[in-house]
Structure formats: C-alpha cells, structure tokens
Amino acid sequence: MSEVLEGVRKTAPTPLVQLSMQQAINRALGEILERDDRALIFGEDVGVLGGVFRVTDGLQQRFGANRVFDTPLAESGILGTAIGLAMAGFHPIPEVQFDGFAYPAVNQIITQLARMNYRSRGRLPMPVTLRVPSFGGIRAPEHHGESLESLFAHVPGLKVVSPSNPQQAYRLLKHAASMPDPVIFMEPKARYWNKAAVDLTDDQGSVSLEGSVIARPGNHATLIAWGAMVSRCLQVAELAAEDGIELEVLDLRWLKPIDEAGLAASVSRTRRAIVVHEGPRTNGLGAEVAALVSQSCFDTLRAPVERVTGFDVPYPSGDLEDEYIPNIDRILFGVQRVLEYRRG
C-alpha cells in the first residue's frame, strides 16, 4: 500500500492554463522563437502593433526587431522574402494579415514556395509556416472572410492545417514550425477569443499531431468539419442529443494531407456523413472529403454524403454573413436528410 501511495504522490498534476486561441498562438510563437534562433516572424503590423488581432503582441519587445518585424503592405513581397530567407537557412513564419489578402501572394506560393524543394531535388527545403487568419464570422468587409483551403490543398508541395481550439492551435503551430515543408496554417479568426484549458507541457510524445481527431463520439452520423465549424458542429450534436440522436464530430484538422483512414473509421461506424465548411460548395474541399468517404465506405454507407457549405457567391458583407456561413438549422437539416434517406 505504501508503494501505491508513494506512486500517487509522485504523480504531478497536468499544468493547464486558460487561454484564448489568440493567446495560445502567441505562446507557441514565443516558444518557437526561444528554441530556434533561425525562426523569424514578419508581416504587416506584426511587430510594433502586435498584429491586428494582437496574436504577436509583445514578441518584438522580447526578441527584438531583427526577429519580429513589420513589412510593407505587399503580400507577394512578404512571401518572396520568406522564400529567400528559407533558401538562406532560416525558418520564416510570415503572416498574411487577412485571408483575402493572400491572393496577391498566390503566385509566389504556388510557383516558388510549393515547388522549390522538388525543383532543387531536396537541396533547398522550404521550412516556411505561413500564418493566415482565415474564414468568416467577425462581420468584416470584403476580402476579410475568405475560405482558401481548397485552393491551397490543391497545390502539390504544400501542407494545410486548421486548428479548432486553443489546445490544437498551440501544439499544431509548434509542430508545423518544426517541419521541413511549407505549411499553410489557417487560423479561424472567429475563434481567436474563445478560451479553453491548454496543456502547456512540452512532452507531446503521447499526443497525436497528425491526422484528424474525434471531437465528440457518436453512432448515428458523422459531422466532418475543420476550423470554426467544429465548434458549430459540436453545438449541433448537443441539440441532436436532446432528441436521442448521437452525432460523431470529426475534426479533420489537416486539410492536406487528409486523414483518409480516420475518415473511413468514423463513417464506417456511423454509416452516414455530413461535411460542413464555410467555403463555396462547388469544388470546395467538402467534395474531396465526400469522394474519399464514398470510396472507402461505399459498402457501408446508408445515405449519400451530405454537404452543408457556403454558397457559390463572393463572400458577402458582414451583415449577411449569418446567412452565408452554415448555421445550426442548416446543419440540422443536413443531418435530417441523411437520417431519413431511403433508397428507392
């Protein structure tokens, strides 16, 4: 008995800190700069101001203007600088201030960043982590609520990841920054201020940082989402549970590469799937997810894969985004369609 009690006394509690996603990313960036003297953070207003969302707040004061610095308002220049720095042996972490501002940098991203490692036969790896505040939900004007995941995920040579909560943001950003590949880190800005308990221990050996995760187990259908839509789907699952419907919520996390095995395992259990994302429906990433599910689970699916998405129109002004972004009712209707589907 004494040995058992001694073992209990030696077990330290896991340190948990209440952080918003914005704070968790800030903490991760600080740790990256501390551990890697080749890491550099730069972008529009990230230095003195600390970013428009204050994600980089205080980092220039801690690490100096040579490692955290402001750039001109030129996204193609920001990415060109990142590529050149990576070629010189640095680990750049540039920021594009808003998702819709990334378009001027797409040429650099596709023709240089994504290809340089292949073009040089591995002699010039691109350890660049591009932070992109992404998606809608903050009632901002045009070009401030885009969903670019299908564009980036289509490009060979890029990895794409989108955290859904502060814990993921903290760990996945550190993981992305340690990769030798270019990673597009899509931060759901509508979730920047939502707080949760974050485990700040550096021992991540037992924590999976690859693939998808089940945010809520269930058995009637699988809701597949990423970014801010994971929280929305969890709300839907709570409401559905009141009627005895247990929905599984699968947080995809990595949008390139997609966790095909995780998708198949979840949908094979529930036999029904609904993909939820903010981007337009046509050629959205949900189409690829639906194709993978259909391919892997064709014999077990009880209904066609449903998609609940944004619309095939430019992202609207802030006063209309509640109609554009999938809301609880639209997702519930999608669930109802797959549950009530009957083969003819």
Clarify whether 143 is annotated catalytic. Answer: no
From 144, 175, 220, 277, the catalytic residue? 144
Scanning the structure block, which residue is given the tokens 């600088």? 81
Q: Hey, what long-range contacts does 326-329 have (CB within 8 A, 24 or more apart)?
A: 326/229, 326/232, 326/276, 326/277, 326/278, 327/232, 328/232, 328/235, 328/236, 328/239
Query: Taking CA 153 as the corner, what is the angle to CA 275 and CA 273, rounded to the nearest 5 degrees?
Result: 15
Scanning the structure block, which residue is given the tokens 């340089």? 116
Question: Phi/psi class of residue 253: alpha, beta or left (left: φ > 0; alpha: ψ in -120 to 50)?
Answer: left
Scanning the structure block, which residue is given the tokens 């549950």? 339
The separation between CA 216 and the C-alpha centre of its own chain, rounded to angstroms, equals 18
With b for 16 or more beta-carbon neighbours within 10 A and e for fewer, the 233-268 pattern comes to: bbebbeebeeeebebbbbbbbbbbebbeebbbbbbe
Contact 53, 46 (CB under 8 A): no
Task: Indicate which residues carry an active-site annotation.
Answer: 144
